[in-house]
Structure 1
Amino acid sequence: MESGPGVYCLKLLAAVDSRGEIAQRPHPIMRRLLTTFVGAILLWPLSACTPPHEPIVALAVRGDRPIGVLVTCAGSFSSLSVYEDRPASSDASLVAWTVDGDGTGEVLEVELFGPPPLGWQVREDALTELRAGVQYSLWGASRRYAISVDFTTADLARIGPDQVLVAEHYHEAAQVKSQDSFVDKARDAC
């Protein structure tokens, strides 16, 4: 019988008879392993990788009104939501306010609980105001999902003119940044 890497691989994938000859059919266990391996290789390209969430949403204050700032990507369905941030163990239903529409590539500023931008719709309006002592999350999407901005009403006083509260990384507290630097970084997500 010949030797070499090719023959060795065939021996691994097939049964060898009593004379040392490679049998016609692979051993049942090796056949299952080979089928599983080939199936995994063929299905791998079909598995979806979710792109990372991006810092494309921020909270601003104009006068005394909270404003959601979303950097939209042209031609992408976009959405902006604020919701009460409840523990995962809570049985209470999600209380939220959501607007959505087509992204134009513009920086969209939406007064929370106010009228939606032109061409957009209010999808959910169970949440109608912010209350002291309650944790909220501002979330958005436009081609990619946003990293949520967690805040309370106490955080609104920290945000000055031309500033926003933004979370740049998961599991990090939101920080006050200039709106210009936020927009410059968020545009890279489109």
Structure 2
Amino acid sequence: MTQPRVRVAGALVALAALLGLTACSPAEKPVSALRVVDGQPALVLAQCSVFTADRISVSTTDATPSESWTIDRGGATEVTAVTLLQPPSGWTVGEQSLVALKPDVEYALAASGRQNDAETVHFTLAEVTGLGPEQVLVGDGGSKRKAVTETAFRDRAKKVC
């Protein structure tokens, strides 16, 4: 008689473990990068079937008080590039305490969607403006970042999408 109880208990433990695993947030996607466009820092988003940016934000990481710039897509069209601090047509500015990027200040660029979030890219103005013509700056875990070719960035994004 104890065997059915053991099976039920085992099934409940397995179900609880499975539910715990599905409750975890999905990993951030490496689909965002920064580059210079017409002398200005710009976000570049790689095409990804499981990610569409609905909110984009840039915020200071160490400044007091913190400053940020946030835009929301709402019903506007999808974007693949955004010049920082300049909302695309149809996007709504949610917060705008950050009005200019300053030298020697570290920022975090985040793009989030309904299904997934893009990997956050930490940067300074000098790092972005110092990129070569074929380079982008990408997140490399936590606050780490690195310059890579745009081709390498898009290849990596394609592998996870």
The reply to whether TM is greater than 0.5 is: yes
**Higher RCO, Cα 8 Å, sep 6+:** 2
Cα offset, 1:93, TM superposition: 5.9
Moved more, 126-135 or 169-178: 169-178
Q: Secondary structure at the match of 1:53?
A: coil
Pair 1:54 & 2:29 matched: yes
- Matched to 2:57, the amino acid is S
Q: CA deviation at 1:77?
A: 5.2
140, 147, 156: which one pairs with 1:185?
156
Whole-angstrom CA distance in 2 between matches of 1:71 and 1:157: 20
Task: Please name the residue that 1:31 is paired with.
Answer: none
Within a 5 Å distance, the mapping from 1:10-89 to structure 2 comes to 10=2, 39-47=12-20, 48-71=23-46, 73=48, 76=52, 78-86=54-62
Aligned counterparts of 1:156 and 1:76: Cα–Cα separation in 2:
23
C-alpha change, 1:185 and 1:172, in structure 2 (3 Å) is: same
Where in structure 1 are there 5+ consecutive unaligned residues? 1-6, 14-33
**Partner SS, residue 129 of structure 1:** coil
Q: CA deviation at 1:132?
A: 1.5
Deviations 1:52-87 (A, max 9, x none): 122111111113211111235458453221110138
Larger radius of gyration: 1
Contact 1:57 1:69 in 2 (8 A): yes
Amino acid at match of 2:27: P
Name the CA distance, whole Å, in 2 between partners of 1:110 and 1:185: 20
Gaps of 5+ in 2: none
Aligned length: 154
Q: TM-score, normalised by structure 2?
A: 0.75
The CA distance in 1 between the partners of 2:32 and 2:24, in whole Å, is 22
**CA offset at residue 134 of structure 1?**
1.1
Cα 1:182–1:51 change in 2 (3 A) is: same
- Kindly report structure 1 stretches of 4+ aligned residues shifted beyond 6 Å: none
Q: Is the 8 A contact 2:31 2:157 kept in 1?
A: yes
Write the distance in 1 (CA, Å) between the matches of 2:138 and 2:76.
Answer: 20
Structure-1-length-normalised TM-score: 0.65
Q: Which range moves more in the overlay, 65-74 or 52-61?
A: 65-74
Percent identity of equivalent pairs:
32
Return the letter of the residue paired with 1:43.
A
- Distance across 1 between alignment mates of 2:39 and 2:142: 28
